[in-house]
């Protein structure tokens, strides 16, 4: 493994750990400043939950 590859891998691991950490903080029912910020970050990254389309509506004609 080259030094460059090792550095790249370390950065990727750091990024992945950070993502999990931020996501975990957003999964709380109890509001704290940290969880609020985390949820906002998750929403910024992933966007608004899409409305379900008619395909999910069992009253629609198939």
Partner 1 sequence: MALIDLIRKSDRLGARKAGTDEKYVICTICDISCQLRASVDENGKLDKIRQHDNPAFSKHICYKGTAAPHVHNHKDRLRVPLKRVGERGEDKWEEISYEQAMDEIADRLSAVVDEHGPEAFAVSTSGWNTQTTHGMDRRFMNLLGSPNWTSGVALCAGNTAAVNKLTYGWFPLGDFMNTKCVVLFGHNPRKHSWSPIYHMIEDARANGAEVIVMDPRVSEQAAAADLHLSLRAGTDAAMCLGWLNVIIEEELYDKTFVDEWTVGFEELLKRVEEYPLSRVSEITGVEPELIARAARMYANADSAIIPWTPITDMQISSTSAIRLQCILRALTGNIDVVGGEIFHGFHPDYIPESELGAHDNLSQAQRDKQLGSQDHPAYTYRAQDMLGDASERVWGHRYADIVMGCYMANPSAMFRAMATEDPYKVKAFFTLGNNTLLSYPNQHQIYAGLMNQDLIVAHEIFMTPTAMLADYVLPGDVFSERNYVADTWGWTGRLQLSQKAVEPPEQATSTFEFWRDLARRMGMTEHFPWESLEDVLDYRLSPMGKTFEEFGRDEYFRFHDANFRKYRRTGFATPSGKVELYSSVLDELGFDPLPYYREGPAISDEYPYYIFTGVREDPFFQTGQRQVEVLRRRSPSPKIFMHPTDAKRDGLIDGDWVDVETATGSVAAKVLVQETMKEGHIRVPHGWWYPEMRYGDSTLSGAFISSDAVLCPDSKEFLDYEQGIPHFKGFPGRVVKRSAPPEGLSQQTLLG
Q: What is the rounded distance in angstroms from the CA atom of residue 23 to the CA atom of residue 46? A: 11
Euclidean distance between CA atoms 30 and 20, whole angstroms: 18
Distance of closest approach, residue 40 Cβ to partner 1, in angstroms: 5
User: What contacts 24+ positions apart, CB below 8 Å, involve 52-57?
Assistant: none
Please report, as residue ranges, which positions from 19 to 38 form the binding site for partner 1 (by CB under 8 A).
19-21, 23-24, 26-31
Is position 9 an interface residue for partner 1 (rule: CB under 8 A)? yes
Q: Which residues bind partner 1 (CB under 8 A)?
A: 1, 9, 12-13, 15-17, 19-21, 23-24, 26-31, 39-40, 42-44, 46-50, 52, 55-58, 62
């Amino acid at each position: 493994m080259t030094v460059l590859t090792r550095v790249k891998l370390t950065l990727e691991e750091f990024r992945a750990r950070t993502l999990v950490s931020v996501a975990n903080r957003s999964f709380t029912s109890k509001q704290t400043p940290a969880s609020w910020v985390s949820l906002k970050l998750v929403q910024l990254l992933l966007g608004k939950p899409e409305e379900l389309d008619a395909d999910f509506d069992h009253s629609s004609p198939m």
